[in-house]
C-alpha cells in the first residue's frame, strides 16, 4: 500500500514536471518574439504559441492526473506524505479542477476574442477613440464573465470577480481588498496634500542629461549585478535585452529581464532594471530542491510585485543606496551629472506629482491609480457599471482621487492593455505588492536594525539574504495571507506601507 502511494505520487509529479518544462519553453519562445524575432516570423510564431497552448491544455486536463489524484488522496497512507508533498497535491488538484471545468470551446473563444480585442485596443488607442474598442471589449468581458462564473463554483468563491482575483492572488477577495484599500486611499491622499503643501520642490532639470544607450547598457549590468542578478559571468542565469515595455520571464536558472533605453531619460532604464531585477531574483532564488514542482513557484503576483518594488523603490529610490551609487554613476557617465549632488538627486528621483499615466506614477500616487482600476473592475463584474460607461467613470475618478483632468481616452481608460488582454482581477496585485513590501520593511527593520547603514556602505548581502530566506525560499508553500503571517506574524493592512512613506517623504519634503 505504502509503495502504491509513493509510485502514484512520483508518477503524478512526472506529469506535472512535463507541463512545467513545456510552459518554460513557451515563455522563452514568447521572450524571443518580444526581443529578437525577425518580422516575417510572426505568423509561424503565432502557430507555435497556439500549438504549445493546445498541448499544454491537453496535458493539464489529462484524465491520468485526475485518476492519480483520486488514488493518492483516497489512499489510507495519505497522512504519511509530508507537508510539501501535500501542498503539491493541493496545487495540482486546484489547477486540474479549474482547467477541466472550463469548456475547451470557451477557452478557445476567449483566446480568439483576446487577440481581436488587443489588436483593436492598439488601433483605438492610436485613434483616441473608445467607441472603436467598445463592442470588442464587451464581447471579451462577456466571455470572461462566463469563465468567471464557472471558476467561481470550482474555487468556491462568493462572487465571479473573486474567482478572477484568485488567479493572481490566491484566496484574496474583493471585500478584503476594499477593507485594505480604503484606509490606503485616505492615507495616501493626506500624504499627498502634505507633499504638495511643502515649500521643497524637486527640480526635474537635475536629471537632464544625454546618456548614450551603450553607457546605459553598462549601468544596467552593473546595477543588476549590485543586487546579485548575474548577467555576465560564465555561470550567469540572467540576461538583459530590450523591449518597449520592460518585463521578466523565465524559470530558475534562466530568468531574463528586459528594459528600454532613452538617451534623454536615463533614469527610466535605471528604475525599470531595478524593478525587473527584483522580479528576477525572486524566480532565481526559489528553492532548487522544489524545481519542477508546483510548490517551486512564486506565491502570488502581489508578492512578486512586492519584490520588484522593494528593489526599485525601497532600495533603489533610497538616499542610502545612492550615497554609495551616485559617485559610481557619475564616473560612468562623466562629464554628465558632474554638478549634481546627492540631495538634489534623491529629491529628483522621488519627485511626487499626480499624473494621468499609471506606469509613470511616483511611489506615493501609484496605488491611487490601482484603486481606481480595482473599483471600476469590481463594478463591471457585479453589474453596477457597463463598458459604455467606462470612460466617464474613469475620468471622474481620476479627477476625484488624483486631481487630474483626463483629456482623451488614450491617456484615460485605454492607457493599459490589461482589460483588452482579458486580465481581469490582475490590477489589485500591483497595490498589494506595495502593501506587502511595507510589511516586509517593518519586519526587516526589526530583524536587521542597521540594514540602512549597511545599504549606505554598499553592503547589500544581509538584506538580499533576508529577502531570499524570508520570501523567496517559501515558494508557493503557503497562500498569501499565511505567508505574510509566517514572515511577519501579521495580517495584511496598509499601515506599515503608509508609515514607510510617511517617514521617507517627511524627511525629503521637510514636513
Task: By CB under 5 A, name the binding residues for Co ion.
Answer: 308
Q: List the helix and strand counts (H, then E) for the chain.
A: 20, 3
Cα dihedral 283, 287, 293, 298, rounded to 10, equals -40
Task: Please report, for residues 24, 37, 63, 235, the alpha-carbon distance to residue 21 in angstroms, rounded to integers and kept in the order given.
Answer: 5, 22, 19, 21
For the purposes of burial, counting CB atoms within 10 Å of the CB of 55, is it exposed (0-12), middle (13-18) or buried (19 or more)?
Answer: middle
250 three-state secondary structure: strand
- Residue 210 CB neighbours (<10 A): 12
Side-chain-side CA neighbours of 122 within 13 Å: the count stands at 6
- Considering the complex, what minimum distance in angstroms separates the CB of residue 267 from Co ion? 17
Q: Which is nearer to Co ion, 308 or 395 (by Cβ)? A: 308
Q: Give ∠ CA 296-300-303 in degrees, rounded to 5.
A: 105
Q: Which of 85, 276, 283, 377 is catalytic?
A: 276
Q: Which is nearer to Co ion, 259 or 308 (by Cβ)? A: 308
Q: Which is nearer to Co ion, 136 or 416 (by Cβ)? A: 416
The alpha-helical segments, DSSP class H, found in 36-103 are: 42-60, 63-74, 83-101
The verdict on whether omega for the bond into residue 499 sits within 30 degrees of 0, i.e. cis, is no
End-to-end Cα spacing for the chain: 69
Q: Tell me the three cell numbers of residue 182.
A: 480604503
Q: Which is nearer to Co ion, 9 or 282 (by Cβ)? A: 282
- Considering the complex, what minimum distance in angstroms separates the CB of residue 274 from Co ion? 11
Residue 138 among the catalytic residues: no
Q: Which is nearer to Co ion, 258 or 308 (by Cβ)? A: 308
- Considering the complex, what minimum distance in angstroms separates the CB of residue 308 from Co ion? 4
Residue 184's nearest CA partner among 443, 506, 492 is 492
Give CA–CA dist 26/34, Å, rounded: 13
Q: Give residue number: closest CB to Co ion.
A: 308
Place of cell 499601515: 495
Place of cell 485526475: 66
- Considering the complex, what minimum distance in angstroms separates the CB of residue 482 from Co ion? 23
Q: Which is nearer to Co ion, 231 or 248 (by Cβ)? A: 248
Which H or E run contains 201? Answer: none
Give CA–CA dist 223/233, Å, rounded: 15
Which residues are known catalytic residues?
A: 276
Amino acid at each position: 500500500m505504502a509503495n502504491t502511494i509513493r509510485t502514484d505520487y512520483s508518477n503524478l509529479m512526472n506529469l506535472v514536471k512535463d507541463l512545467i518544462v513545456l510552459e518554460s519553453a513557451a515563455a522563452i519562445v514568447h521572450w524571443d518574439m518580444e526581443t529578437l524575432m525577425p518580422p516575417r516570423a510572426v505568423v509561424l510564431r503565432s502557430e507555435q504559441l497556439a500549438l504549445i497552448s493546445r498541448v499544454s491544455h491537453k496535458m493539464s486536463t489529462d484524465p491520468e492526473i485526475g485518476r492519480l489524484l483520486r488514488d493518492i488522496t483516497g489512499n489510507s497512507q495519505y497522512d504519511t506524505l509530508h507537508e510539501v508533498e501535500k501542498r503539491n497535491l493541493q496545487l495540482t488538484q486546484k489547477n486540474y479542477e479549474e482547467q477541466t471545468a472550463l469548456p475547451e470551446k470557451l477557452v478557445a473563444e476567449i483566446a480568439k476574442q483576446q487577440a481581436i480585442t488587443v489588436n483593436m485596443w492598439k488601433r483605438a488607442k492610436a485613434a483616441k477613440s473608445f467607441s472603436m474598442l467598445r463592442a470588442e471589449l464587451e464581447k471579451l468581458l462577456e466571455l470572461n464573465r462566463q469563465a468567471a462564473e464557472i471558476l467561481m463554483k470550482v474555487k468556491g468563491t462568493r462572487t465571479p470577480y473573486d474567482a478572477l482575483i484568485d488567479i493572481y492572488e490566491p484566496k484574496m477577495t474583493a471585500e478584503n481588498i476594499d477593507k485594505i484599500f480604503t484606509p490606503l486611499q485616505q492615507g495616501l491622499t493626506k500624504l499627498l496634500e502634505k507633499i504638495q503643501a511643502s515649500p521643497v520642490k524637486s527640480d526635474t532639470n537635475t536629471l537632464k542629461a544625454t546618456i548614450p544607450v551603450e553607457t546605459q547598457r553598462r549601468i544596467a549590468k552593473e546595477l543588476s549585478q549590485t543586487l546579485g542578478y548575474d548577467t555576465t559571468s560564465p555561470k550567469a542565469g540572467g540576461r538583459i535585452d530590450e523591449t518597449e515595455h520592460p518585463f521578466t520571464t523565465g524559470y530558475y536558472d534562466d530568468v531574463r529581464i528586459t528594459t528600454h533605453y532613452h538617451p534623454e531619460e536615463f533614469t527610466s532604464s535605471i528604475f525599470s532594471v531595478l524593478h525587473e531585477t527584483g522580479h528576477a531574483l525572486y524566480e532565481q532564488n526559489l528553492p532548487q530542491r522544489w524545481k519542477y514542482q508546483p510548490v517551486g513557484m512564486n506565491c502570488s503576483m502581489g508578492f512578486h510585485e512586492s519584490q520588484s518594488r522593494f528593489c526599485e523603490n525601497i532600495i533603489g529610490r533610497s538616499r542610502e543606496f545612492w550615497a554609495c551609487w551616485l559617485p559610481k554613476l557619475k564616473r560612468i557617465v562623466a562629464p554628465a551629472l558632474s554638478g549634481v549632488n546627492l540631495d538634489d538627486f534623491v529629491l529628483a528621483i522621488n519627485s511626487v506629482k499626480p499624473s494621468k499615466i499609471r506606469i509613470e506614477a511616483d511611489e506615493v500616487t501609484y496605488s491611487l491609480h490601482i484603486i481606481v482600476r480595482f473599483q471600476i473592475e469590481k463594478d463591471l463584474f457585479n453589474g453596477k457599471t457597463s463598458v459604455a460607461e467606462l470612460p466617464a467613470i474613469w475620468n471622474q475618478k481620476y479627477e476625484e482621487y488624483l486631481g487630474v483632468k483626463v483629456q482623451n481616452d488614450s491617456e484615460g481608460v485605454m492607457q493599459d492593455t490589461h482589460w483588452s488582454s482579458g486580465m481581469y482581477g490582475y490590477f489589485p496585485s500591483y497595490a498589494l505588492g506595495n502593501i506587502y513590501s511595507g510589511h516586509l520593511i517593518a519586519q526587516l527593520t526589526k530583524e536587521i536594525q542597521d540594514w540602512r547603514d549597511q545599504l549606505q556602505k554598499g553592503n547589500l548581502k544581509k538584506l538580499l539574504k533576508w529577502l531570499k530566506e524570508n520570501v523567496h525560499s517559501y515558494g508557493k508553500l503557503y497562500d498569501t495571507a499565511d505567508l505574510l503571517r509566517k514572515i511577519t506574524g501579521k495580517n495584511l493592512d496598509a499601515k506599515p506601507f503608509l508609515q514607510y512613506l510617511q517617514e521617507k517623504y517627511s524627511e525629503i519634503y521637510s514636513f
